[in-house]
């Protein structure tokens, strides 16, 4: 179904799903407790988050829960000292979690590795020592260009443990995209792998990392650590490049955990906006760990026996919060899979669920749509009875995909928890709990301690049933602390609708207060749950010598949700033909990497522009889809 069809079905969706009584009885938070939590958080939000902070360990407690005197810049738990890794690893070593599995990893060829909390703790310590011996210190930026390997998690934790700041770049990004992020972050160290397995092939990664380091940016990167995954012969630069295993072999099993201020940066994660430059979203140790811990454990009802599988790639925030930090903070067991979901055939995910007894499976709607195409015989071939909860994130799930997931994967017993959040929010914001009455396609309501509204351009609430702009009306602990080197960019989130956080999404609230996300209000394109900036794509087109100018919009795609369509104006003397189209697609892929899927290219004589010269992508989109995008969108065109 295309996007407009999906929207129609969302608007007409009236089905309601109640949790099974057994699930309600066993839930960590029952309906009365949820009600009480909502009331408490509404009356005393600081008290609510303070209670959440008290569930974690601190080297020194806070002077205050929130200092918003410099609003919109907020300091959560000022005066407190902590380190998220102390809570994610160190403290578990003193408890029964010590010998519990922290990570079950499976490589695409079928090899596996498992780490108990104790083993992971030691491995992280060894790598933390190695980082220190490479001269990495508190506040330095460490860039990870890594696929889904245990070392990715280890490197993130080791970096945070010594107080340095990690920034993971998706392994599907190009050398140029990597270089741009290295430069912006002024990274001192790059961690990568020789290669990894994907869909039966080996993808060489170190070569791309080397390419990224050619040019001006090489100045900031002093060393590169290379994980040996595929035993590939790779060029190692003497004095700059080190193999991971050579470094950790000689290191001690213990390493001191750096004492951080609550607001000290933990990581940077680049995401796309409407401009050509990716934004470096900054998250801190204290607020982030409180928000992620509270929301992950509440929404996914984490129990000591759970096996939690968040299938997201480490290059996205979903994996940071729900694949690495959240599960470890909660002391649960995570699953990580290196490869392609259809390798060697379309049941790989279900076979993993069955073999490890996964209890909670969290993925993106695009994955469900892709797997739906192969029919139900693949899930039917596996025992999925261990599953008790399902979750989705990244884009609206159509009621059809929701029902497919619920019936064929969840045996009509497992609630599908649709979680709305962003790289910027760090934690789940709008989401159900397992006890919540569910309407397929709705993200239900804000979690306790979170306040949201659906408003018009003036900030006035719109009536139920009408589309409006989604805003968050009070600060939350895991909120980004800023944008890297871009104070103005951060302020913009709070200035579009003054005093409120503008999420960039269009939403509708129904008569029951349930929120339905309808898509982006700005021009950001959501390809398979990944944010891609149109300006980044347009710049990539303009690298080709035939292109004079380009405009890119998102168009509906049955599997990926959206794909990019480009409108290209050619320089005089160039004629459009199939070869040129192929060449243009190749150029964009080289510039940005395989994430930049160009569905089609149209050639035109000129592009619609505002009087000030900005491309009016909205006009192209409305024409393309035959839509009236309405009054609430287009805020960015002003
Ligand atoms: O448009 C919304 C969509 O993804 C955007 C955030 O993208 P990103 O920062 O990459 O983080 C994605 C994963 C946390 C949002 O502005 N989005 C996220 N979750 C949902 C969603 N759209 C609809 N329903 C969701 N559950």
On whether both 238 and 268 belong to a single domain, the answer is no
Tell me the backbone φ, ψ of residue 615, rounded to 5 degrees: -65, 130
Residue 606 has pLDDT above 90, yes or no: yes
Ligand 1 pocket member 418 (CB < 6 A): yes
Which residues on neighbouring strands pair with residue 568, listed in sequence order?
550, 603
Going by pLDDT thresholds of 50, 70 and 90, the confidence category of residue 632 is: very low
Alpha carbons within 13 angstroms on the beta-carbon side of residue 427 total: 30
**Rounded percentage of the chain residues whose pLDDT exceeds 70:** 96
- pLDDT score recorded for residue 595: 83
| Distance from the alpha carbon of residue 582 to the mean position of ligand 1, in angstroms | 31
Structural domain harbouring 163: 88-99+107-258
Other Cβ atoms less than 10 A from the Cβ of 97: the count is 21
Using H for helix, E for strand and C for coil, what is the string for 444-501? ECECCCCCEEEECCCCCECCCCCEEEEEECCCCCCCCCEECCCHHHHHHHHHCCCCCE
On whether both 252 and 283 belong to a single domain, the answer is no
Going by pLDDT thresholds of 50, 70 and 90, the confidence category of residue 618 is: confident
Nearest CA to ligand 1 atom 13: 394
Ligand 1 pocket member 317 (CB < 6 A): yes
Q: What is the DSSP letter of 253?
A: S
Instruction: Point out the domain boundary residue: 519, 539, 562.
Output: 519
* pTM of this structure: 0.94
Q: Per the domain annotation, does 609 fall within a domain? A: yes
Other Cβ atoms less than 10 A from the Cβ of 47: the count is 13
Residue 633 has pLDDT above 60, yes or no: no
Alpha carbons within 13 angstroms on the beta-carbon side of residue 545 total: 1
Ligand 1 pocket member 170 (CB < 6 A): no
Atom in ligand 1 nearest the alpha carbon of residue 418: 26
Nearest CA to ligand 1 atom 6: 422
Ligand 1 pocket member 562 (CB < 6 A): no
Ligand 1 pocket member 503 (CB < 6 A): yes
On whether both 576 and 559 belong to a single domain, the answer is yes
Contact between 381 and 349 under an 8 Å Cβ cutoff? The reply is no
- pLDDT score recorded for residue 637: 44
Here the CATH number for the domain that contains residue 603 is 3.30.300.30
C-alpha–C-alpha distance, residues 121 and 92, integer Å: 9
On whether both 560 and 615 belong to a single domain, the answer is yes
Ligand 1 pocket member 601 (CB < 6 A): no
Average pLDDT rounded to a whole number, residues 126-138: 98
- pLDDT score recorded for residue 14: 79
Pocket test for ligand 1, best of 269, 421, 439, 503 (most atoms within 8 A of CB): 421
Q: What would the two tokens of residue 237 be?
A: 């630069």
Q: Which helix (H) or strand (E) holds 25?
A: helix 21-26
Instruction: Determine if the peptide bond prior to 344 is cis (ω within 30°).
Output: yes
Angle between helices 578-592 and 175-185 (to 10 degrees): 30
On whether both 331 and 442 belong to a single domain, the answer is yes
| Distance from the alpha carbon of residue 599 to the mean position of ligand 1, in angstroms | 21
Ligand 1 pocket member 366 (CB < 6 A): no
What residues contact 569, with CB distance under 8 A and at least 6 apart?
547, 548, 549, 550, 603, 604, 605, 606, 607
Instruction: Point out the domain boundary residue: 258, 293, 316.
Output: 258
Q: Per the domain annotation, does 348 fall within a domain? A: yes
Nearest CA to ligand 1 atom 4: 394
Residues 499-552: tens digit of each pLDDT: 999 999 999 999 999 999 999 998 999 988 888 989 999 999 999 999 999 999
Q: Per the domain annotation, does 4 fall within a domain? A: no
On whether both 181 and 294 belong to a single domain, the answer is no
CA nearest 293: which of 478, 423, 97?
478
Please, what's the largest Cα pairwise distance for the chain? 72
Nearest CA to ligand 1 atom 8: 422
- pLDDT score recorded for residue 597: 83
On whether both 329 and 472 belong to a single domain, the answer is yes
On whether both 240 and 288 belong to a single domain, the answer is no
Q: Per the domain annotation, does 180 fall within a domain? A: yes
Q: Per the domain annotation, does 224 fall within a domain? A: yes
Q: Per the domain annotation, does 16 fall within a domain? A: no
Ligand 1 pocket member 318 (CB < 6 A): yes
Ligand 1 pocket member 271 (CB < 6 A): yes
Nearest CA to ligand 1 atom 22: 395
| Distance from the alpha carbon of residue 592 to the mean position of ligand 1, in angstroms | 21
Q: What would the two tokens of residue 303 be?
A: 């129990």
On whether both 507 and 563 belong to a single domain, the answer is no
The number of distinct structural domains making up the chain is 3
Q: What are the C-alpha distances in Å from 15 to residues 64, 368, 419, 439, 585?
A: 44, 20, 18, 6, 42
Contact between 608 and 616 under an 8 Å Cβ cutoff? The reply is yes
Average pLDDT rounded to a whole number, residues 186-209: 97
CA 48 to chain centre: 26
Q: Per the domain annotation, does 8 fall within a domain? A: no
On whether both 95 and 232 belong to a single domain, the answer is yes
Q: Per the domain annotation, does 603 fall within a domain? A: yes
Ligand 1 pocket member 248 (CB < 6 A): no
Instruction: Point out the domain boundary residue: 519, 552, 568.
Output: 519
Pocket test for ligand 1, best of 283, 312, 395 (most atoms within 8 A of CB): 395
On whether both 132 and 58 belong to a single domain, the answer is no
Here the CATH number for the domain that contains residue 389 is 3.40.50.12780
What residues contact 476, with CB distance under 8 A and at least 6 apart?
49, 291, 425, 427, 429, 449, 450
On whether both 273 and 252 belong to a single domain, the answer is no
- pLDDT score recorded for residue 612: 79
Nearest CA to ligand 1 atom 18: 394
Ligand 1 pocket member 521 (CB < 6 A): no
- pLDDT score recorded for residue 227: 98
| Distance from the alpha carbon of residue 272 to the mean position of ligand 1, in angstroms | 12
Residue 452 has pLDDT above 50, yes or no: yes
């Amino acid at each position: 179904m295309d996007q407009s069809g999906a929207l129609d079905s969302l608007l007409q969706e009236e089905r309601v799903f109640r949790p099974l009584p057994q699930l309600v009885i066993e839930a960590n938070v029952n309906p009365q407790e949820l009600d009480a939590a909502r009331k408490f958080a509404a009356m005393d939000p600081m008290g609510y988050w303070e209670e959440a902070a008290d569930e974690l360990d601190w080297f020194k407690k806070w002077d205050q829960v929130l200092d918003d005197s410099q609003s919109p810049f907020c300091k959560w738990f000022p005066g407190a000292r902590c380190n998220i890794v102390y809570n994610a690893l160190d403290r578990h070593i003193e408890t029964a979690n010590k010998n519990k599995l922290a990570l079950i990893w499976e490589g695409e060829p079928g090899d596996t590795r498992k780490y108990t909390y104790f083993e992971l703790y030691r491995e992280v310590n060894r790598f933390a020592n190695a980082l220190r011996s490479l001269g990495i210190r508190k506040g330095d930026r460490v860039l990870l260009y890594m696929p889904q390997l245990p070392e990715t998690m280890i490197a993130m934790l080791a970096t945070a443990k010594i107080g340095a700041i990690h920034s993971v770049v998706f392994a599907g990004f190009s050398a140029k995209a990597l270089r741009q992020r290295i430069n912006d972050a002024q990274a001192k160290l790059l961690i990568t792998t020789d290669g990894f397995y994907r869909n039966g092939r080996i993808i060489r990664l170190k070569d791309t990392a080397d390419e990224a380091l050619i040019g001006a940016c090489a100045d900031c990167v002093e060393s590169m650590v290379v994980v040996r995954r595929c035993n590939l012969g790779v060029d190692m630069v003497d004095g700059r490049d080190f193999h991971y295993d050579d470094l950790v072999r000689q290191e001690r099993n213990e390493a001191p955990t750096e004492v951080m201020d609550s607001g000290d940066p933990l990581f940077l994660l680049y995401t796309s906006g409407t401009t050509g430059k990716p934004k470096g979203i900054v998250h801190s140790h204290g607020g982030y760990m409180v928000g992620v811990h509270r929301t992950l454990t509440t929404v996914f009802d984490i129990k000591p026996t759970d096996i939690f599988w968040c299938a997201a790639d480490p290059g996205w925030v979903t994996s940071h919060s729900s694949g690495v930090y959240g599960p470890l903070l909660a002391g649960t067991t995570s699953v990580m899979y290196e490869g392609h979901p259809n390798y060697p055939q379309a049941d790989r995910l279900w076979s993993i669920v069955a073999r490890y007894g996964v209890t909670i499976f969290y993925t993106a709607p695009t994955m469900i749509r892709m797997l739906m195409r192969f029919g139900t015989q693949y899930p039917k071939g596996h025992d999925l009875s261990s599953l008790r909860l399902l979750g989705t994130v990244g884009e609206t799930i159509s009621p059809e995909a929701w029902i497919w997931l619920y019936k064929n994967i969840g045996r009509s017993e497992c609630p599908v928890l649709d979680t709305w959040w962003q790289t910027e929010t760090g934690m789940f914001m709008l989401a159900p709990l397992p006890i919540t009455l569910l309407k397929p396609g709705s993200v239900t309501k804000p979690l306790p301690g979170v306040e949201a509204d659906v408003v018009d351009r003036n900030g006035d609430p719109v009536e139920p049933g009408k589309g409006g702009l989604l805003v968050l009306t009070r600060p939350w602990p895991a909120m980004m602390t800023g944008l890297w080197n871009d104070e103005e960019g951060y302020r913009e989130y709070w200035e579009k609708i003054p005093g409120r956080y503008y999420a960039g999404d269009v939403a509708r609230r129904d008569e029951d207060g349930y929120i339905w996300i309808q898509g982006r209000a700005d021009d950001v394109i959501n390809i398979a749950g990944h944010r891609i900036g149109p300006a980044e794509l347009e710049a990539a087109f303009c690298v080709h010598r035939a292109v004079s100018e380009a405009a890119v919009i998102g168009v509906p795609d049955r599997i990926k949700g959206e794909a990019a369509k480009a409108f290209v104006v050619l320089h005089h003397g160039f004629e459009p033909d199939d070869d040129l189209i192929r060449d243009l697609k190749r150029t964009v892929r080289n510039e940005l990497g395989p994430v930049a899927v160009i569905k089609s290219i149209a050639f035109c004589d000129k592009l619609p522009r505002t009087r000030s010269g900005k491309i009016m992508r909205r006009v192209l989109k409305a024409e393309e889809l035959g839509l009236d995008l309405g009054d609430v969108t287009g805020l960015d065109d002003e």
